[in-house]
Amino acid sequence: MTTSTKPPLILLIPPAILLVAFLTGIGYLVVESLRTDMGWGLGNFVDFFDRPDYVAVLIRTIVIALASTLLAGVIGYPIAYAIAQYKGNRNFLMMLVIMPWLVSVVVRTYGWIVILGPKGTLNSLLMSLGIIETPIRMIFNMTGVVIGLVHVFCPFFIVSVLSVLLYLDRGLNEASQTLSAGPIKTFLNITWPLSLPGVITGAILVYLLSTGAIVTPLLLGGVRDGMLATQIYQDVLQVFDYPKASSMAIILLLAAFSLIIPLQLLERRVAARVSGMGR
Amino acid sequence: MINFKFVKWSIAAAVIAASGASQAQEITMATWGGGVGKAWREAFAEPFTKQTNIDVKIVEVPTPEAQVRAQKDAPKFNAALSSLFEASQMYADGLLEDFDMADFPALKDVPEKYLLKAPNGRLIGVSTYFAYYGIAVNTDLAPASAFSSWKDLADPKWAGKLSVTRPVYSSAYDLTIMSVAEGGSERDTDKGLALLSKVAKNSLAMYSSMAQMNQLLQRGEVTAAPYYSTRVWQMKREGLKNIEMVIPKEGALMLPYIVVVPKNAKGREAYMKWLNYVAQPEGQVRIADIAGYLPLNSKAELTPAAKEHLGQPLIALRDSLYQPDWNYIAENRKTRMEQVERAMAAAGS
């Protein structure tokens, strides 16, 4: 005799509410983006792509988001791996990872100005040691924005990867080593492939959050380092041009989906392979 | 036997009526943050409440204009502080009440050019004080005399040592005064735009808040920037001796501020009293002492401390500043912003 494993339908209510709210918001954005001074149409989108400075902002947004995601992965994965391997109090290490979330993003971002600014601690140190003669420009450019975004969003990557690493069957590692594979071979053939779903989820999170970042590009970017979300912020809250801002939001959404959808397909394939169902 | 249902409804009705009455007798005013709200409480709100028994709630928001627009159909504020170009555009969009000059006798002491009027001659709010837009300099890094002209900001020797504000404000302020410096005006901005583009090219950062700009200047991350006189006043008041405000030889930009009333706001009797109060010299003198906003009312007599800080007669300063046609700037806001955005983007290439 088998018992039914179907979850009760009531559990669908919260996701349904979220889905309805999301779709309503998107629907509103689409309708608003089609409003122009001369009636309904694609004028706002045409205007956007007619302006080379806006197209540059879109490309810059994607490049910065990709760079931040890559860097968050390079920094975040070893940290997640180290925490997963740690035999002591992991909760304490997790606390350290998420501790920055307890501080306002504005305050944290200002911290980078104190450290990396032309008159900041690092430049002053390098100059006093005679290593450089004039300050290196580490912020108020794209590098600064990427540093700020990685700092803010890296914990999301770490938590995503860690949530997978902690539930890996340690027996697989032992089996691999029993079969005389060294730690590197074991990592490359066992741990890394099995942790890929966490890596992909973390990458999706960091990429999405980076494309929508406002505060960090505003504070750490230079005059020409604005991102699309900062442009939308300006058009909504300072210029009050909602149709233009909506069209930009749709473009940002499509830019985000253009990477997220392939990544999600990849994640499914990886998950299927990991669970032994993939061919 | 007591009818509890009746009592409950009576109490509820009384509470609603009381809250309605209190709202009608209250002023809820939106101001910018960064110390503006605190200055308004001390200079205007508290003395006004003492005098009239009408409560004034000063609410600091990132942009008062955004609040007025967001509450278009049901305004929660019955007063808002605004710049002239923002007020002009809000009025054009049907978001503000207008008034008769006769409603505010104190405004006869404010020169006509600092009042904001609609095309039909009606008054769009009450002009109360002004700041000016000049060049703030960190004198540890450069003497104030190095910026005696707006054109000095374009000198390549300042590359990476300046800052500019966002296009929403630079298209109204920087573009106007730089056009004046180049022999143009708010209507003739071609040369001013080229100058602004060079200044943007020299800029390390685009400041998005006063706190950010204060920090950039104080830490010496930037040497100079087009900035607000009131911010420099406040920094000096806090004891900073290395920040100076320069009025370039071509002049500085006059920035009058105005108290407006959102369309269909409640409590007309209270807000009319409030508008009359802020038009008087007394509160304007107090806020000059507190925050460096200078009176527009010609009868205002600054305190000795404020006079010393100013370093020149108030009227002389006021009349030397360039007062553009803010209605024209508001009408052309989108075009000007687009021009500035493009110029700033091109400045990097």
Residue A61 above 90 pLDDT? yes
CA distance B308 to B314: 11
Q: Are B116 and B326 in contact (CB under 8 A)?
A: yes
**Domain B131-254+327-347 CATH class label:** alpha beta
pLDDT at B329: 95
Residue B33, amino acid: G
Mean pLDDT to the nearest integer, A101-106? 86
**Does B13 have pLDDT greater than 50?**
no
pLDDT at A126: 93
Closest residue of B to A107, CA-based? B212
A234 vs B contacts (CB less than 8 Å): 166-168
Residue A272 token pair: 């299927």
Give the E-state strand segments of chain B in sequence order.
26-31, 55-60, 79-83, 126-138, 162-165, 203-207, 224-228, 243-246, 253-260, 294-295
Which residues in chain A are contacts of B160 at CB distance < 8 A?
118, 137
Residue A109's pLDDT band, with cuts at 50, 70 and 90, is confident
- Cross-chain CB nearest to A140 (options B166, B168, B205): B205
Residue pairs between chains A and B whose CB atoms are closer than 8 Å: 65
Using a CB-CB distance cutoff of 8 angstroms, which residues of chain B are in contact with residue A218? 208
- Mean pLDDT, residues B209-216 taken together: 90
Residues B246-295 have pLDDT tens digits of 999 999 999 999 999 999 999 999 999 999 999 999 999 999 999 999 99
Using a CB-CB cut-off of 8 Å, the residues of chain B touching A143 are: none
Q: pLDDT-based confidence at B20, cuts 50/70/90?
A: very low
Please check whether residue A213 touches B, CB under 8 A: no
pLDDT tens-digit profile of A132-182? 988 888 989 999 999 999 999 999 999 999 999 998 888 888 888 888 888
Q: How far is Cα B55 from Cα B224, in angstroms, rounded to an integer? A: 41
Contact A237 B334 (CB under 8 A): no
Is residue B5's pLDDT more than 80? Answer: no
* Chain B residues touching A221 at Cβ < 8 A: 205-206
Residue A130: inside a domain, yes or no? no
* Cβ–Cβ gap A221/B205 under 8 Å: yes
pLDDT per residue as tens digits for the range B148-175: 999 999 999 999 999 999 998 999 999 9
For residue B128, the distance in angstroms to the closest alpha carbon of chain A comes to 23
Separation CA A86–CA A104 (nearest Å) = 29
Task: Please check whether the two domains, B4-130+255-312 and B131-254+327-347, share a CATH topology.
Answer: yes
A241 interface with B at CB cutoff 8 Å = yes
Of chain A, the end-to-end C-alpha distance in Å amounts to 32
Q: What is the CATH number of the domain that holds A79?
A: 1.10.3720.10
Q: Is residue A209 part of a domain?
A: yes
With respect to residue A90, please indicate whether it lies within any of the assigned structural domains. yes
Grade residue A276 by pLDDT with cuts at 50, 70 and 90.
Answer: low
Tens of pLDDT along B45-66?
Answer: 999 999 999 999 999 998 899 9
The reply to whether B213 touches chain A by the CB within 8 Å rule is no
Q: How many Å lie between the alpha carbon of B66 and the closest alpha carbon of chain A?
A: 6
Residues of B in contact with A228 (CB under 8 A): none
Tell me, yes or no, whether A10 lies in a domain. no
Domain count, chain A: 1
> What range does the domain containing A202 cover?
19-105+146-274
The residue extents of the domains of chain B are: 4-130+255-312, 131-254+327-347
A39 torsion bin: left (phi>0), alpha (psi -120 to 50), beta (else): left
Q: Is residue A116 part of a domain?
A: no
A239 and B215: CB-CB below 8 Å?
no
What DSSP designation does B280 have?
S
Superfamily of domain B4-130+255-312: Periplasmic binding protein-like II (3.40.190.10)
Q: To the nearest whole number, what is the mean pLDDT of chain B?
A: 91
The SS3 assignment for B99 reads strand
Least confident segment among A35-44, A98-107, B219-228: A98-107
Chain A environment of B82 (Cβ under 8 Å): none
pLDDT of residue A87: 87
Strands B224-228 and B253-260: unpaired
pLDDT exceeds 70 at position B12: no
Q: What is the predicted pLDDT for the residue at A3?
A: 57
| Contact between chains at B69 and A239 (C-beta distance less than 8 A) | no
Residue A5, pLDDT > 50, answer yes
Q: What is the pTM of this model?
A: 0.85
Contact between B66 and A237 using a beta-carbon 8 Å cutoff: yes
ipTM more than 0.90? no
pLDDT at B163: 95
Distance, in Å, from the CA atom of A242 to the CA atom of A227, rounded to the nearest integer, reads 18
Residue B348: its pLDDT value, please? 61
pLDDT tens for A197-254 read 999 999 999 999 999 999 999 999 888 888 999 999 989 988 889 999 999 999 999 9
Contact B325, B135 (CB under 8 A): no
- Flag whether residue A141 sits within 8 Å of chain B, measured between CB atoms: no
Domain membership flag for residue A82: yes
Asked if residue A118 belongs to a domain, the reply is: no
By C-alpha distance, which of A61, A73, A24 is closest to A230? A61
Q: What is the pLDDT of residue A135?
A: 87
